[in-house]
Amino acid sequence: MYVVTRRYKSLSSVTEAAARAEAGLAPILLATTGFKGYHIIDAGGGVALSVTMFETREDAERVKDRALDWIKQNLSDLYQGEPEATAGEVIYSARPETPVGQQPSAAETEARPH
């Protein structure tokens, strides 16, 4: 899995940004092959984080330009400066469906090159 995070500072309304993203950005992401999830976090004090998950880096790259264009066109009036982006491969994930100490089934495991 590949994850992209963005940190927005000085956001005037996280609630408004989330509502706009739900109406406009979510449909773009949902139509993307390999899309796994999108979350918006209100960190308080005008700071918000977005977490977007994809099956592969290629899936994320496929929608990156469209998503960034949408963000600039539809959210730029709500924040100042550029969001800080961080992205990378998930190398470990603990999930309730796979108890600690128990090996996940073959269907739950993905091969990862080292």
Residue 21 identity (one-letter amino acid): A
pTM: 0.81
Is 113 within a domain? Answer: no
Residue 102 has pLDDT above 70, yes or no: no
Is 54 within a domain? Answer: yes
Q: By C-alpha distance, which of 44, 43, 48, 34 is closest to 3?
A: 34
Residue 98 identity (one-letter amino acid): T
Buried b (16+ CB within 10 A) or exposed e, 77-109: ebbeeebeeeeeeeeeeeeeeeeeeeeeeeeee
User: Average pLDDT for residues 31-45, to the nearest whole number?
Assistant: 97
pLDDT band, very low/low/confident/very high, at 112 (cuts 50, 70, 90): very low
Q: What span, in angstroms and rounded, lies between the C-alpha atoms of 106 and 7?
A: 35
Residue 108 has pLDDT above 60, yes or no: no
State how many domains the chain has: 1
Q: By C-alpha distance, which of 44, 46, 52, 56 is closest to 21?
A: 52
Can you give the CATH number for the domain in which 24 is found? 3.30.70.100
CA dist list (Å): 105 to 27, 54, 92, 97, 109: 32, 21, 15, 10, 6
State the average pLDDT for the chain: 89
Is 51 within a domain? Answer: yes
Domain of 54 in residue numbering reads as 2-108
Is 114 within a domain? Answer: no
